[in-house]
Amino acid sequence: MSTVSRLPGIVTTDHVFQVPLDHASPEGEQIEVYAREVVASGRERDDLPWLLFLQGGPGGKAARPLGRDTWLDRALDDYRVLLLDQRGTGRSTPATRQTLARRGGPQEQADYLAHFRADSIVRDAELIRHRLLGAGKRWSVLGQSFGGFCTLTYLSFAPEGLTEAFITGGLAGLRSSADDVYRAAYPRVVRKNEEHYRRFPQDVEAVRRIVAHLADSPATLPDGGLLTVEAFQVLGMMFVGGSGSGALHYLLEEAWVEGPAGPELSDTFLAGVQARLSFAEGPLYAVLHESIYGQRSVDPGSTAWSAERVRKEFPEFDARTALETGAPVLFTGEMIYPWMFDADPALRPLKETAELLAARTDWPDLYDPARLAANTVPVVATVYHDDMCVDTADSLETARAVRGLRTWITNEWEHDGLRVSGGKVLDRLIKMAHGEA
């Protein structure tokens, strides 16, 4: 029986669905997918249209609402919202180092995780739609970041399930390989570094001091993880959100304490770094990240640790060279590297599994360009001009390739605009879709 809970301004209902691990074998192994229904207090019995929310990631569970907060406040004016814990995340059948160990060796684990991409997530959503709404009823979808990628997959393979689609920071390149993605990404990350150092010029020397220390003596994080120069550079992930640069600056401010043998990295700093670098809460993000770009018709080869290979084309990210030349040390961005599976205790048991996924060459296509070109579902999308995660040129090319898709291009917010804009981003998209803007 579903559990109903009440929080300030909202009523939530838990739903758990049995879905096939492999939708091509519906009678085979089943897994659970969890979703939380959210409706405004007092409107529980209203006949409201449904809005499915697809979270960013990959491997991220849906937000846990504490009330009518962030974009949800605006959504609940018009919709009954379903927050989906995509397969493998949150309260769905989990996929972590602990649970995957029960499936056997690395090959069995890799074969299992091959069913955790956008195509499977969309097929889960379709089964849930039929079971929750009933035959013939459609719903709207809101896709943030990777959730936007999933929305394009939805429009490719099951558009009959959708009334309308909203995408925020998630118009993927339909024909972009992993190498294409990272060749476009590294220059964007350079610009984010330049912006950070213009804002906080004192951080140039602060970062160089930390890197020089780590180059001689890598640090151990509280969870046993290893903080190397390269791991420290990954803190550039903080640039993803509009407030990330400031948060990184404040983290750097507390890097040092005076220990018995002289200056040493503080526990406060190391704990803060661990919170940013550990994949304990979301290992699928690391394990599956590059696979979200794998498509047979685009690149018949493997993704083969694309971010690591392409990084060699951008020597400005070599921190040791920067120390020698006096240049600012550059942080990296939304990239996953193979050494992370040695440095992070939550990823170490999944190293061989990740290697097998990186070598996989038979990823099916995630998008159908012909069907998208004939699309009839109203689609509106926010494209963030300064988005570090998704290339603006790719987004606009995709917008032109999807029939009827309308874009709102803005630099008022960055990749986390849906969450931090107080509902303004979603409000604008709803008004665009309904002919009010």
Please write the tens of the pLDDT for every residue from 292-345: 999 999 988 889 999 999 999 999 999 999 999 999 999 999 999 999 999 999
Distance CA(248)–CA(408), nearest Å, equals: 29
Q: Which CATH architecture has domain 3-174+367-434?
A: 3-Layer(aba) Sandwich (3.40)
- The predicted model scores a pTM of 0.96
Geometric angle at alpha carbon 239, from 165 and 303, rounded to 5°: 70
Distance CA(259)–CA(256), nearest Å, equals: 9
> Residue 110's Cα: distance from chain center in Å?
20
Domain ranges of the chain: 3-174+367-434, 178-359
Q: What is the pLDDT of residue 293?
A: 96
Q: Which residue type is seen at 102?
A: R
How large is the angle between the packed helices 392-401 and 178-199, nearest 10 degrees?
130
Q: Look at the block and give the residue holding tokens 């640790």.
A: 305
Q: Look at the block and give the residue holding tokens 């509280």.
A: 222
Q: What is the DSSP secondary structure assignment for residue 365, as one 8-state letter?
A: P
The answer to whether residues 83 and 14 touch, using CB atoms and an 8 Å cutoff, is no
Geometric angle at alpha carbon 44, from 43 and 49, rounded to 5°: 75
Q: What is the pLDDT of residue 1?
A: 54
Low-confidence ranges of the chain (pLDDT < 50): none
Q: What is the pLDDT of residue 300?
A: 86
User: Active-site positions?
Assistant: 145, 362, 415
The answer to whether residues 70 and 420 touch, using CB atoms and an 8 Å cutoff, is yes
Q: What is the pLDDT of residue 44?
A: 94
Residue 268 C-beta-side C-alpha neighbours within 13 Å? 9
Query: pLDDT tens across 73-96, in order?
Result: 999 999 999 999 999 999 999 999
The answer to whether residues 128 and 33 touch, using CB atoms and an 8 Å cutoff, is yes
